[in-house]
């Protein structure tokens, strides 16, 4: 097994283990986001794991990769909870807000004309959560966060930990990975939004 495979196997084991009474995310200002865990750790069947993986794959490819906002209605729960750098400083707490955040950030700044998204790995956990790692590439053609378009081709590499319940994504923790091109273009503006 490669070191990359070991890393993702370790992540899968860590994410499928027993969780504390709350799941917490911290931002640099020390604010805490608390939310009850999306599962109680009870194992789900292989069929449910497969179905959850299909929901996540379809959402990532259609909703995030193609910018199809109707995918949010098909695959995301109305009361979804999302921790993402697209909304620094506070979680997203509804499907409508999630759609609006994506529509007002990624859809504004990046051209869909020659955008690509490749799912590199998609792992299921025994308690129904899904870990997906993907690489997206698009041209930076729109102004956003007071940063003018650069015309550069950007790489967005991310890992998402999603929880699916009854065929809908109810929770998503988003983490940016190197090369952090998106994050670096907007780092000054994001910093002003979240740093004291």
Residue 87 gets which letter from DSSP? S
With a CB cutoff of 8 Å and minimum separation 6, the contacts of 1 are 9
pLDDT of res. 134 = 97
Task: Evaluate whether 182 touches 176 at the Cβ level (below 8 Å).
Answer: yes
Report d(CA 57, CA 69) in Å as an integer: 15
Give the pLDDT score at 34: 61
Name the CATH topology of 3-194: Nuclear Transport Factor 2; Chain: A, (3.10.450)
| pLDDT for res 35 | 67
Question: Residue 58 has what pLDDT?
Answer: 98
Q: Whole-model pTM?
A: 0.81
> Which pLDDT score, from 0 to 100, does residue 153 have?
94
Q: What is the pLDDT along the chain (196 residues), one digit of tens a residue?
A: 444 443 333 333 333 333 322 233 333 333 445 666 788 888 999 999 999 999 999 999 999 999 999 999 999 999 999 999 888 888 999 999 999 999 999 899 999 889 999 999 999 999 989 999 999 999 999 998 888 999 999 999 999 999 999 999 999 999 998 888 888 888 888 888 788 7
Question: Where are the domains positioned within the chain?
Answer: 3-194
Chain-centroid distance, C-alpha 79: 16
The pLDDT value recorded for residue 33 is 57
Q: Which two tokens stand for residue 87?
A: 């909304």
> Quick one: pLDDT at residue 22?
29
- Counting every residue written for the chain, the total comes to 196
CA nearest to 160, candidates 111, 116, 108, 117: 117
Residues 134, 135, 140, 143, Cα dihedral to 10°: 30
């Amino acid at each position: 097994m490669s070191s990359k495979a070991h890393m993702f196997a370790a992540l899968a084991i860590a994410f499928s283990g027993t969780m504390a009474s709350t799941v917490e995310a911290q931002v640099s200002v020390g604010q805490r986001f608390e939310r009850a865990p999306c599962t109680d750790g009870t194992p789900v069947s292989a069929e449910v794991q497969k179905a959850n993986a299909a929901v996540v794959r379809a959402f990532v490819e259609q909703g995030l990769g193609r910018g199809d906002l109707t995918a949010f209605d098909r695959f995301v729960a109305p009361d979804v909870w999302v921790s993402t750098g697209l909304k620094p400083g506070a979680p997203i707490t509804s499907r409508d807000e999630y759609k609006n955040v994506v529509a007002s950030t990624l859809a504004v700044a990046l051209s869909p004309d020659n955008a690509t998204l490749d799912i590199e790995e998609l792992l299921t956990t025994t308690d129904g959560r899904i870990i997906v790692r993907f690489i997206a590439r698009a041209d930076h053609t729109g102004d956003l966060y007071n940063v003018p378009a650069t015309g550069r081709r950007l790489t967005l590499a991310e890992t998402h930990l999603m929880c699916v319940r009854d065929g809908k994504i109810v929770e998503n923790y988003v983490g940016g990975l190197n090369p952090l091109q998106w994050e670096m273009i907007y780092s000054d503006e994001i910093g002003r939004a979240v740093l004291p």
